[in-house]
Amino acid sequence: MNLSVENRRRIAKAVFYTGNTIIALIFVSPLLWMIASSLKPESELFSNLNSIKTFIPKGASLNNYKEVFQRVPMLQYIGNSIFYVTIIVIFDLIINSLCGYALAKLNFKGKGVLISVIISLMVLPTEAIMLPLYKVVSTFGWINHWQALIVPFVSKCFSIYMFRQFFLEIPDELIEAAAIDGCSPFRTFVNVVVPISGNVYATVFILDYVSHWNDFMWPMLAVTGSDKRTIQLGIQTFFGLKPINYGPIMAALAISALPMVMMFLFLQKYYVQGISTTGIKG
């Protein structure tokens, strides 16, 4: 049977969206299972794992969520995470965007070498510098202080690279026109470049916030007291409280994931546009 071009397009589109939906459900299934488990009583938590029924909580209740706030000061942990991650992100957006703009649009001696160093450092994992970083922070007496959580992560090579790649796409004629009008490089950046760079700012904002919100290793090393414990460290304390109930743990994980999910849902358009418009030029 011969199909018309229009019918072929419809079938191809249906197959495309069906395949994408299936893949999306596979990737999101752990999150759905976690949310469903957070609403289950402890006795039903690991039942029907081989069935679709595991995603349908029977007798759903918020008891696990209530227990989370009763067993640990979760509101304090959430507030701590919001505080230090927000400060990191603010400084990241300001400092690294300025660095990216300078590397993209200004000419100065050693610029090529500096770009090469930044790109080289991007492949260096944080774990490789964790021990010397801890030694430096300890020498400054910052352990269990906000400085230990914030200062080492204000500047990031990846953020600088993202900003530089985006700013390279801005026409030089626009920068030159601002200079002719008497704008200094900084004023040009603030009044001309920043207003048209919302996509890359949103992209860096999401990547940075998610990275530090979910960070566990460094806060575990840098925070020794409960007063500055982050939400990820707060979740870890459930494994040291007897009895160990996995229902509240799932509820705490759901609480931790919710802000990141909401952030991505509201900013996903800018995130996709920012990713698609960076990395085009070298």
Check residue 124 and report its DSSP letter: S
Residue 9, classified by CB atoms within 10 Å of its CB into exposed (0-12), middle (13-18) or buried (19+), is: exposed
| 3-class SS of residue 9 | helix
pLDDT value of position 176: 87
For the cut 60, the answer to whether the pLDDT of residue 265 exceeds it is yes
Reported as a pLDDT band with limits 50, 70 and 90, residue 260 is: confident
Does the pLDDT of residue 6 top 80, yes or no?
no
pLDDT tens digits, 108-165: 888 889 999 998 888 888 888 888 999 999 999 999 999 999 999 998 999 999 999 9
In this predicted structure, what is the pLDDT of residue 278? 57
The tokens describing 102, both together, are 């300078």
pTM exceeds 0.75: yes
Answer yes or no: is pLDDT of 282 > 60: no
Q: What confidence tier does 2 reach under pLDDT thresholds 50, 70, 90?
A: low
- Residue 17 CA, chain-centre distance (Å), reads 27
pLDDT of residue 95: 95
pLDDT, tens only, 158-191: 999 999 999 998 888 888 888 888 888 889 999 8
Contacts of 186 (CB under 8 A, 6+ apart): none
Give percent of the chain with pLDDT exceeding 90.
Answer: 37
pLDDT at 274: 62
Residues in the chain: 282
Do residues 104 and 164 touch, judged by C-beta distance below 8 A? yes
pLDDT of residue 212: 93
Measured CA to CA, the distance from residue 119 to residue 157 in angstroms comes to 7
Query: What does the pLDDT look like over 90-114, one tens digit per residue?
Result: 999 999 999 999 999 888 888 889 9
CA gap 148, 128 in Å, rounded: 17
Q: Is the pLDDT confidence value at 7 over 80?
A: no
Which of the listed ranges 28-32, 81-85, 236-240 does the model predict with the highest average pLDDT?
81-85
| 205, 267 contact by CB (below 8 A) | yes
Question: How confident is the model over 53-81, as pLDDT tens digits?
Answer: 888 888 788 899 999 999 889 999 999 99
Backbone φ and ψ of 103, nearest 5°: -75, -25
